[in-house]
Amino acid sequence: GFELTEQAAPAVINSANATVDVSVMPGTDVTNLIPTVTVSTGATVVPASGVAQDFTTPVTYTVTAEDGSTEKAWTVTVSSVSMVDIYDIQYTADASGDSPYITQTVLTGGIVTATKTGAYWVQSGTGPWSGAYVYDAANTPNIGDSITFTCEVTEYYDLTELTNVSGYTVVSTGNTVPATVIGTGDASAEMYESVLVKFETAECVDANVGYGMWNINNGATLADTVYVDDDLYAYTPTQGTNYDVTGVMYYSYSEWKALPRNANDVIESGSAGSQAEIVTFTFAEQTGPATITSAGGTVAIEVANGTDVTNLTPTITVSTGATIDPASGVAQDFSSAFTYTVTAQDATTKVWTVTVTEASASGYTSIYDIQYTADASGDSPYATQTVETGGIVTGVKSGAYWMQSGTGPWTGIYVFDMNNTPSVGDSVTFSAEVSEYYNLTELSYVTNYNVVSSGNVVPETVIGTGDGGQEMYESVLVKFESAECVNANAGYGMWTINNGTPTTDDLYVDDDLYAYTPTQGTSYDVTGIMYYNFSEWKVIPRDVNDVTVLGINEINGTSGISMYPNPTDSYIVLENMNEGSVITITDVTGKTVISEESSSVISKIDVSSLESGVYFISVVSSEGNASGSLIKK
């Protein structure tokens, strides 16, 4: 690994080319950067990790392997990222509509115009090409926040999307973005994708087109009709009535749609507003968004444990043109239900009841308790709940990591977290929501992230390949000893191993974190994290240290006969044999413990019943004799 505290995104390490490319935030002084460098087990690196370097030009690091003679020179290049405007990300003359920055990592920012669970929209300026959709489950901004962040530009079913967010920063709050007024006939233009727009005096031509949508049109032809979707706010229109509709333009299921955000975004045209809604209700002390129920005129909101609910100051927004009494920004006693009256523009009134609850004292939940279940589904008993937990990080990937508390069954878990970038060995604590993602127990929506210490070690749990598919080892760091590669290419970068008896004990090794090219028939010690996806159990090695080829020894006397693995705890394989050769294994006293006759050029001998120690092996054939030693673990 290669890390800088100033980096804008994880380093790109290319083993084949021996290069490391790191991007840092704008304004970083690259003449004095202190990297954290991790190398293969037993290896050393010069210059040393933790020593400041001038990265104005590429710096060469030399890594010397444990054998003291094998060296590899690595070239590290550090570059500063520049702020890329949303307009530049979105603008394209390509008929496909794809961003010219697709697959690239950029630093960008803007003002948040709309939010939904796990995502939001940002905009820089107004007009065409000024908006973008951000897929980000880790951060929860509010409308009006001005933010900057680093992200990857992708195309998701023809929607330009910003993902893998890191370096998220709130610059200011309470900003506004005026909606760009366009006609419904312009709504399907790529330039307005993710832009906050407004359609004035648009007739509802179909009040129910299915899936919670309705149609509006203020153009000259039926082709000018545009969908209004309920993804952010549901409204029941009257067919034939004209509306002023504001919303972000969104593309999904091959359709362009306007997404109103709240009651202020759908107003009957040319009339005094009759809406008397509470649109938003917030406290600085809240633990999550308020639940606003228009039908019942209620607001329910939770505040942090220990909050003085007798003196809370809310920030409230109401329908356009409406007023509220008592006013927003005035402290109130919420120890019991509190009543507000909203008066619409046309003098219509609506009474709202606000209920505030205090969160219970937080308690720590161990990974074991989150994971352990006797339910056949394997689902966590804490699914959908928010917990405080922690452990030591055992593996990392872009936007996620694994952590573990203790060793053995039920001790590991997968964390989806695009905001924090821990290192293997970090002891971390945080709050998160427990969920089941295609039968994988997952922690997400991470908050209160804290690194307690670094450099910790989690011993791997040794299991057999026949146990790898058990729910109890999901996300646990495990090790398979003396496991034979039974298929060197199982597809999708995977290979299979087996250190059991039946073929049902075969287990996939995946290249998700580290790619290795095995030799079929060779035995390995494989360490990795047990992972479940695409309905398959897989072990995921993390780096070069996690796959060790076991010893291959040439038997003295008869050229070409080789034996592996050695040492072993289960079996040995003899290759290049003559059919009919007699194989004898004796202990140190000379007692014969195994005697077999080879029936082919390859013989596999089960030695699992032998006691640990040194043994002698001899091969007698018509072409001569051979001998060697064997270590049984």
pLDDT digits (tens, 9 = 90+) for 196-249: 999 999 999 999 999 999 999 998 677 789 999 999 999 999 999 999 999 999
What are φ and ψ of residue 189, in 5° steps?
-80, 135
Length in residues, the chain = 633
- Report the amino acid identity of residue 192: Y
Helix, strand, or coil (residue 171)? strand
Structure token digits, residue 50: 């933790």
Comparing 258 with 384, which gets the higher pLDDT? 258
Q: What's 542's DSSP letter? A: -
Q: What is the CATH number of domain 86-172?
A: 2.40.50.140
Model confidence over 398-449: pLDDT tens digits? 889 999 998 889 999 999 998 899 999 998 988 899 998 888 999 999 988 8
Rounded mean pLDDT of 117-136? 94
H or E element at residue 323: strand 323-325
Cβ atoms of residues 149 and 85 within 8 Å: no
82: pLDDT strictly greater than 80: no
Side-chain half-sphere CA neighbours of 36 within 13 A: 12
CATH topology assigned to domain 278-358: Immunoglobulin-like (2.60.40)
Q: What's 95's DSSP letter? A: T
Do the two domains 86-172 and 180-268 of this chain adopt the same fold? yes
266: pLDDT strictly greater than 90: yes
Model confidence over 593-622: pLDDT tens digits? 999 998 888 888 999 899 887 788 888 887
Rounded mean pLDDT of 368-395? 89
Q: In what order do the strands lie in the sheet with 613-621?
A: 592-597, 582-586, 613-621, 624-632
Distance separating alpha carbons of residues 249 and 338, to the nearest angstrom: 37
Cβ atoms of residues 439 and 468 within 8 Å: no
Rounded mean pLDDT of 186-191? 87
Q: Which residues contact 296 (CB under 8 A, 6 or more apart)?
A: none
Domain boundaries, the chain: 2-80, 86-172, 180-268, 278-358, 367-453, 461-549, 553-632
Cβ atoms of residues 382 and 419 within 8 Å: no
Second-level CATH architecture of 553-632: Sandwich (2.60)
Q: Nearest to residue 448, comparing CAs of 429, 427, 422, 435? A: 429
Distance separating alpha carbons of residues 323 and 327, to the nearest angstrom: 8
Distance separating alpha carbons of residues 324 and 278, to the nearest angstrom: 9
- pLDDT band at 294, cuts 50/70/90? confident
Q: What is the CATH number of domain 180-268?
A: 2.40.50.140
Please calculate the CA angle 52-66-34 and round it to the nearest 5 degrees. Answer: 10
Second-level CATH architecture of 461-549: Beta Barrel (2.40)
Cβ atoms of residues 42 and 66 within 8 Å: yes
Structure token digits, residue 361: 């004292």
- pLDDT band at 288, cuts 50/70/90? low
Burial of 396 (0-12, 13-18, 19+ CB in 10 A): buried
Distance separating alpha carbons of residues 633 and 629, to the nearest angstrom: 13
Model confidence over 332-342: pLDDT tens digits? 999 999 999 99
Q: By percentage, how much of the chain surpasses pLDDT 70? A: 96
Distance separating alpha carbons of residues 594 and 603, to the nearest angstrom: 13
Rounded mean pLDDT of 352-363? 81
Model confidence over 154-172: pLDDT tens digits? 998 889 999 999 878 887 8
Quick one: pLDDT at residue 272?
A: 59
Model confidence over 529-576: pLDDT tens digits? 999 988 889 999 998 889 887 755 556 655 568 787 877 888 888 888
Distance separating alpha carbons of residues 495 and 486, to the nearest angstrom: 8
The listed range with the strongest mean pLDDT (143-147, 250-254, 278-282, 339-343) is: 339-343
Q: Nearest to residue 508, comparing CAs of 547, 462, 481, 469? A: 469
Q: What share of the chain is helix, strand, coil (3-state, %, to 5)?
A: 5, 50, 45
What are φ and ψ of residue 495, in 5° steps?
-140, 165
Q: Which residues are bridge partners to 396 per DSSP?
A: 401
Q: Which residues are bridge partners to 485 per DSSP?
A: 497
Mean pLDDT of the chain: 88
Quick one: pLDDT at residue 363?
A: 67
193: pLDDT strictly greater than 90: yes
Distance separating alpha carbons of residues 363 and 382, to the nearest angstrom: 13
Rounded mean pLDDT of 502-528? 88
Q: Which residues contact 272 (CB under 8 A, 6 or more apart)?
A: 321, 344, 345, 346
CATH 2.60.40.2340, domain 2-80, yes or no: yes
Rounded mean pLDDT of 285-306? 81
Helix, strand, or coil (residue 90)? helix
Class of domain 367-453: mainly beta
Cis peptide before 565 (omega within 30 of 0): yes
Rounded mean pLDDT of 90-112? 88
